Structure 1
Amino acid sequence: YYQEAGRAGRDGEPSECLLLWCDGDVSTCRFFIEGDSEYATQQPEEAEIARAAQRRMLEAMVGYCHTTGCLRRYILNYFGDQTPFGNGSTECGNCSNCLGEFESIDVTDTARACVKCARELGGAFGKTLVADIVRGSKSQRVLEGNFETLDSYDTVSDSISQVKEVIELLASEGFLQVSEGKFPTVGLGERSHEAFMEDFTFSIKQMKKSTLPKKGKAASSPASSATFGVGATSVGDDALFEELRALRKQLADAGNIAPYMVFSDRALRDMCVRRPKDALDFLEVNGVGSRKLERYGEAFLDAIAKFEAGE
C-alpha cells in the first residue's frame, strides 16, 4: 500500500510529504518520530507535543491506507466534517474504494489470533514477534522464550507481511495499541474484547491484480482494449453502449446522483467488450467491485443479456 500525507512539523502542523510504501516504512516512521535528533533544541514538553502530533497523523495514515470504506469520507472525518454528500450518502461513489478497485480479504481468524497473542504476551513485545508466534515460527527467539506453548502459537497461515498489516489496522481501529518509544510493543486496545465476540469480522483490502496483457499478447485483443480503456468500435458495441448509458442515466436519476457515480464511460465500454454473463464476469469489468456488483450488477447483466438475445 502507499498513500501520501502531510507530516507534522515542530509546531504540530503539516510540513512535508509522507510516503508509505510497505509495512517497514511504518516502523521506520515510528523510529524517527521517537528519535532525539529532531527535537534536540526543544524543551522536553515541546518535544513530546510534537511527537504526539506525529503519532496521531501516522496512525491516521495507516488507517487511510487500509480502510475499505470511502476514502473521501475518511479524510473529511479526519478534519471533523460529518456532512453527508449531496445525495445524502456517506459514500462519495467516486474514490478508488467506492469504485471497487480492490478486493476485500477476510482476515477475521488472523485478527483474532493477533489480539489473543497480544493478550498472552501482556503487551511486552513488538509486532514481529507477535507475527512469528501466530505463524508458528521456530526461530531462536520464539523457542528460547517458550512462546510455542502459547494458545495462539501456529494458528495463522498468512504471510508475515499480511499479518503485520492486520496488526497495524487493528491498532488504527482500537483493537490493539502500539506503544510509544523507539521499540514499540503491541498491547490491547480499548476495543480488544470485541475480537472475541461471535459476530466479530475483520477484513483488509488488497488491490486487484493487474490485467495488463502478457508479453507477446496482441495489443488489439478484447482484454487489452478493456484494460487500457480503448473504446469499442463495432456497430454492435456502440449500440450496446448507448443502451447501457440510458440504463445508467435511469439508475442515477432514481438515486439522485450523477451518472458517473453509477459507472464511468470507461466501465460501460469495458462491458461492451467483455459482454459479462454472470457475477464473476461482471467483477472483471474495469471499475466494478463487490459494492457496484451488489447495487447495479443485476440490472446491467440483464440489459446485456437482452441485447445479446436481440430483444
Structure 2
Amino acid sequence: MAGDPSRIRAAQLMDSRLDAMSAYCETRRCLRRTILAMFDPPGTRRDDCSNCSNCQADGREIVKQPASNPYRRRRTAPETGEGQGEPMGRESIRIACRYIANIQRELGHGVRPSVLAAALHGSTRRSVTEQGLELIDGHGAFSARSRPAVRNMIGTLEAIQAIDTGTGLVEPGPLFDIYLGGDR
C-alpha cells in the first residue's frame, strides 16, 4: 500500500503545504502579502501592509541562543543544519517519525504528545524515565531547539498526518510510513 498513487499524491500535497509554511516562516517580505499570494490568482498585485513584523523590522535580527548543557550528549542530530526557531524540514520529520517508530517497537504503544515533546527535547523528567524513553534511540534529537518549538513540531506532525493524537496518545498517522521512508 506504500506505493498507492492516492497516498503518494496526498504526501506530495502535504509536502507542498509544508514547503509553503516554511517559505512563510523564512520570508522577509510582508507576511500578509505572502499569505494572500497563496490564495490569489497569479499576477494579482498586493501592497505591503506596514503592520506585520517584517514590514516593521528595521533590518536587525534577534536570535535567542539555546542554553547549553556540557553534560548533555546528543544521540541523534538533524543533518540539515536546522536549528532553534527554524521550520520543521523533511529530515526533522523523518527523525521524529523514526523516534516514534522506535517507541512503538520498544513499548508497543504510543505516549502522550507532551511526553513525546519532552523526550525529543531531551528531558529526563519522571514521565520520560518511567517509560524508559531516555534509553530509546532518538531521545534528545531536538535538544538544540526551544521547548515550545519542539511542542509545535508535534502539531506540525499531526497537521501533515504523520501522527494521530485522537486517542490522547501519539500513534502513527495515515501518512506515517511515507514520512518515515519505509524504515518501519
Calculate the TM-score normalised by the size of structure 2.
0.49
Calculate the TM-score normalised by the size of structure 1.
0.31
**In terms of Rg, which structure is larger?**
1
**In proportion to residue count, which structure has more strand?**
1
